[in-house]
Structure 1
Amino acid sequence: MGKMSAAVGSVATLAAEPGEDAFRKLFRFYRQSRPGTADLGAVIDFSAAHAARGPGPEAHKVVRSQLSLSSVSDHDAHRAGLQPVSKWQAYGLEGYPGFIFIPNPFLPGYQWHWVKQCLKLYSQKPNVCNLDKHMTEEQTQDLWEQSKEFLRCKEVNKRRPRSLLEKLRWVTLGYHYNWDSKSKWLLPVGFRVSEPKQGS
């Protein structure tokens, strides 16, 4: 418990320093850790919190969110590869209205479909990604097509150059935040998402 309290305190100190963006500082804090060595004591674990609702410092902040069961019909949910809304478990955080966490609303096998959709469609222009700062728009035009042959290669070779998709870290849809100018602007996003096929 002492270790967790110390972790919460150290993260709070990181975020509280004046003159620096709190999100960026926290991002660097967790990114600098070697895999498996990060102290995750200050991270909210929704699965543990809603299962045990124990005495941890963050557990009391997790609340059950009510969803409108009529917002999406069971037929439409199934077409999108989702379970009926009545089976979803939704959680929020006290003091953060509008934030909703839904653990795995997908039908079996459909997570892969949506991962592929994200990589194929959402990485396309006009959406902004981390590669744009280092490459021209033509070089990042269709990351999926440029990378799919690399990704099909099962052989792990450290000398092989990484594909662009392996270098992709984030893509922004809608509002894009510019870290340099601290401003945001609206991107015209207009993708047609195809319906999942069985077994894809």
Structure 2
Amino acid sequence: MPGRGAHTRGAAEPRGGGRWRLAVCVGLALVATGLLAWGHGVAQASQEEARGKAFCSRALARLERVTPASGGTVAAGVADLPVLQVDGLDVAGRLVAAGAGLDTPVAAPGSATGLAPSLEEGRAGELLVRCRPWQTSAIQALRKGEELRFVQVDGAGRTYSVVDAGTTCSKFDDHFDLLLYVEGSFGSKRWVGCSQSS
């Protein structure tokens, strides 16, 4: 009889212990999968940032060489902007906000790129610039009243000043002459709206 009781207790413990061990293994597998996915995302973002910064550096150097100090006519809309090809990508101009440390080439509308900010067609003809995630700190550094300048590749330029900023998950209210934004992982957009001063 003692042997049978010992056998019964011994058989009950492995079943309970087995379920516990299975739950732990499943939990560890899920954690490991999550960490791998996170690590892959971080590595991919880091590679995109490195490629983007390298491209922007080349594009700015090219714009520095070929953009006249002044000249040209300010384009009526984003579709009318002259372009310069850099590494096969149409660049429409350069956006500078010295106070925020922002100096970047801007790709023409329709130039699908993850390498540089790109222009999008706004509903009222304003400049709508989608910036890259690695430029978030420069966008957040823009303060009300700060001056930005967009210079076309032919030397014509326009000056803007920051009037508002915020975060949204919906469409933009197009009452700005220039709107910069960075889209986050879950669809939220950090934006800065500017009015044209010249």
User: Relative contact order (C-alpha < 8 Å, sep 6+): which is higher?
Assistant: 2
Same topology, TM > 0.5:
no
After TM superposition, the score normalised by the length of structure 2 is 0.25
Larger radius of gyration: 2
The structure where strand makes up a greater share of residues is: 2
